[in-house]
Amino acid sequence: MSSLTVYAPQITILDNAVKVINGLFCLNDLHKASGGEKKHQPSFFMRNQETTDLINEIKLSDNLEDANVMQRINGGDMRGTYVCKDLVYRYAMWISPKFALLVIRTFDKLVTGELRVQPTGISTVADRKPLVAAVNTFCSKTSAIYSDVWKMIHQRFGLEGVHEMTVEQVPQAIDYVHGLLAQVQYGGLNVDIAMDNEMWRCVGILKYYELSKALDEAKKAVNVLYSAIGSAQSHGSLVYDAFGEQRKLTTLGEGGSHTALEQAKAFIERQDARKQIWGGR
């Protein structure tokens, strides 16, 4: 057997990737890999009494909570029903012995180390332990305040809190903290200045987006103005009246005088005179 270790974001069965969240595997992806028959939908399997009994037995024998056995995600790219490996095997056997053998042999590679799954999704407390250790080291070797370092990490990755950090972001955050420590120890960077720089970097990004948005709004306003001017020029400033008289007015006369306004005024005066004549008849 090959000793090659394959790192992948998911397990792949019959060219169908099976998503993984917190050690649980997506039944919807397994359903697709099996051929996607309606009768094999995960919802039917989960309502099966034997499945319910097996879930209860797993929780009882291993002293596990519901979240460690199965989870349902209702929205987003990771939506689906996620279950532990024991339920994966049961689901595969429920579909067919042939599919079950394929699934079991694939999952056996996890045990032998031939296949290792790179976790995805939101990190757990256990996932973040190396990051906590890095922050503790940083604080012990500098004058930094523990809570301030976490604020820098949150700002760096655009998080409201560490609970939003993904598994992929954890090693990135560790590298970030180690990089700051190296700058303080070997680059002569003052830790307070480093924190101030990080804060102003975030402020600068925010101001950039605000300015960019304001410029976009200004461009839209200018475009509307030019469109209105173009529309007025295309109509040639034609003026009509009830008697069918028409005049084409120029926008500016010689020397920049407003002959258009003068002509319009004279035109209106002529119409008033005509109405008085018609009204007197």
How far apart CA 28 and CA 13 sit, in angstroms, is 12
Q: What is the pLDDT of residue 244?
A: 43
Query: Which of 117, 151, 170 is the endpoint of a domain?
Result: 117
For all residues of the chain together, what is the average pLDDT? 75
Nearest C-alpha neighbor of 134 from the set 117, 152, 122? 152
Residue 208 included in any domain: yes
Q: How many domains does the chain have?
A: 3
Higher pLDDT, 52 or 117: 52
Residue 31 included in any domain: yes
Same domain for 156 and 193? yes
Q: What is the pLDDT of residue 218?
A: 76
Of the pLDDT bands very low, low, confident and very high (cuts 50, 70, 90), residue 28 is very high
pLDDT digits (tens, 9 = 90+) for 230-242: 665 554 444 444 4
Angle (CA) 214-195-204 rounded to 5° is: 10
pLDDT digits (tens, 9 = 90+) for 87-100: 999 999 999 999 99
Same domain for 197 and 260? no
Query: Would you state the structure tokens that stand for residue 267, as one six-digit string?
Result: 């035109």
Residue 205 included in any domain: yes
Residue 1 included in any domain: no
By residue range, what is the domain housing residue 275?
Answer: 238-280
Is residue 33 within 8 Å of 82, Cβ to Cβ? no
Q: Tell how strand 6-8 and strand 115-117 pair up.
A: parallel
Write down the pTM of the prediction.
0.42
